[in-house]
Amino acid sequence: MGEEAPVSVGEEVPAVPAEPIQEEVKAVATSAVPAVESGTKELPQYMHDAVARIAPEQGFTPGQFSIDFEVGSGKGDGFVGEMFRARITEGARELVVLCKIPPINEARRQQFGSMVIFEREVEAYSKLLPAMYEFQREKGVTEELDAGFFNAPKCYLSYWDGPKEEEPVNYEHAKLLMVQLGRLHAVSFAMKDQRPEVFEQFKLPDPMTRMMLEGESGAVFIGMMNMSMDRAIGLLQPEEEKLRQKLLKAKDSMFTDLKNLTNPALCEPYAILGHGDCWVNNFIYSYKNGVPTEIVLLDWQICRYVSPALDLLYFIFGCTDGEFRRKHYDEMIRLYHRSLTELLEKLGGDPTRQFPYTALLRQLRQHGKFGLLMAIFMVPMLCVDNADLPDMDAQAEKYKETKESGGLEELDNEWMQMMTKSEDKYRKRMGDVLRDLARFGYI
């Protein structure tokens, strides 16, 4: 994965400048290695891509300009970064840009912790300095007055694509999802009541349970779930024996429970078309001034006719943390139901008959174990750094080989070793899930 540093592009200079004034273009390094030539150095392809992205924004004609790089600093000039000049030319016009990237040499990057520092610099160029400038302008102190602080390079592009930890969803993002889930489910309730013949096609069986419990994929999943449940139970303290016994009982019945929890016959008359894969990687947000304003739900391959509680439990216990649930759980559930009610009424439905708030609370209690089963599967992976996650193609091939040679136990052990790489994060996140599920009466 790459990382983002600011890319500061220099100001436009004459074709043959005596002493060009250069502004910093900070390009952040990536560990991907296609390269471009610069004197005696091979430069990462992302540097060329960054400058090529800037050029049209500065008035150069796509396809008509050229980019040449040269070393911009000498040996020992910096421990944690390297500097290069990028010269953009089109005819007689020239723009010189200074590019700063983390060390190309991986050992040097690791030795000096370059990526952490570059991430901070990206934040400075993209957030902190602009905020300082804007504040001064609001107070009437502008660049022209030469009375304030505006003395940092102009940054044309800052980019960071380094490995990131999976962070729990925050309030604003969760709020948008609750509104849209409420609306999604409201349409089902309305169509189910008013257009039953059309709604028949929405009564789709759950593909997830079959995939998880049958065939070769089922054998892998069952093994993973058993290991994950044992690991979760192992988090409990000696004084939590009552909860331990509940979880041991849940382990004994979890695959039967999974089938029942996704059986629409056991939740009628409240079954609807649910999204089915309601976690953060399947949402796209749009932003205004850094605040999420809209959400789009992706990946409908597991949409199924089930209780509306499943989407809520999947998201809340898989993608939020204990602190969020302590502060906002009740608010999120009420927000979801209020959104559902408002749209259902607009569509000519009757929320008090079709899905009152008391029915929602009963559905959550009845299906609460689904939050447990999804969390023990998802949370371990969400706590592992992206770089440590397995190559799923390689895992599939290895499973095939080890199955034929009888070495599945070894593969299971490798999987568990990978999952335990972020143990401290996992203990806090999963421990809170278990205790919250018990507190809400869901297990």
β-partners of residue 306 are 272
Rg of the Cα atoms in the chain: 27
Averaged pLDDT of the chain: 79
For the record, the structure tokens of 46 come out as: 């992302």
217: pLDDT confidence band, cut at 50, 70 and 90? low
What CA–CA distances, in Å, run from 265 to 294, 305, 434?
34, 10, 28
pLDDT computed for residue 14 by the predictor: 30
- Give the model confidence (pLDDT) of 147-186 as tens digits: 778 777 778 787 666 554 456 789 999 999 999 999 999 9
Give the SS3 label for residue 27. Answer: coil
pLDDT computed for residue 19 by the predictor: 31
> In which region does residue 251 sit, left (phi positive, over 0), alpha (psi from -120 to 50) or beta (all else)?
alpha
Q: What is the CB neighbour count within 10 angstroms for residue 84?
A: 22
pTM higher than 0.75:
no
First to last CA, the chain: 40
CA 190-297-429 angle, 5° bins: 110
pLDDT computed for residue 76 by the predictor: 40
Check the CA dihedral 53-55-57-62 and report its sign.
negative
- Give the model confidence (pLDDT) of 338-392 as tens digits: 999 999 999 999 999 999 999 999 999 999 999 999 999 889 888 876 666 655 5
For the record, the structure tokens of 354 come out as: 């079709």
Q: Amino acid letter at 257?
A: D
Taking 50 as the threshold, does the pLDDT of residue 428 lie above it? yes
Q: Amino acid letter at 161?
A: D
DSSP single-letter state for residue 169: P
pLDDT computed for residue 13 by the predictor: 31
73: pLDDT confidence band, cut at 50, 70 and 90? low
